[in-house]
Amino acid sequence: MKLMAAEEQLVHVTLTGDRAGDYLVIDESPDGELTLVPDTSIAAISRRHNLTPATLAEFEAEYGPVGPPDGEG
Partner 1 sequence: MTVKPGCAPVVFDDLAFSEDFARTTEHGRKIATDTRTAYERDGCPIDHLLGCQEQAADGTDLPTCVKVYLPAPIGNFGMVFTIKHQEGKLVLVYLGFGVRHHPKGSHALTVYQIAHRRLHEITARDLRGKDAPEQ
Question: Which residues contact partner 1 by CB under 8 A?
Answer: 1-7, 10, 21, 24, 26, 37-46, 48-56, 58-59, 62-64, 66-73
Residues paired with 24 in a beta bridge: 12, 37
CB of 31 to partner 1, least distance (A): 20
Q: Which of 41, 39, 43 is nearest to 23 (CA)?
A: 39
CB of 25 to partner 1, least distance (A): 11
Cα separation, 39 vs 43, in Å, equals: 9
Would you say 30 or 73 has its CB closer to partner 1? 73
Instruction: Evaluate whether 12 touches 28 at the Cβ level (below 8 Å).
Output: no
CB of 5 to partner 1, least distance (A): 6
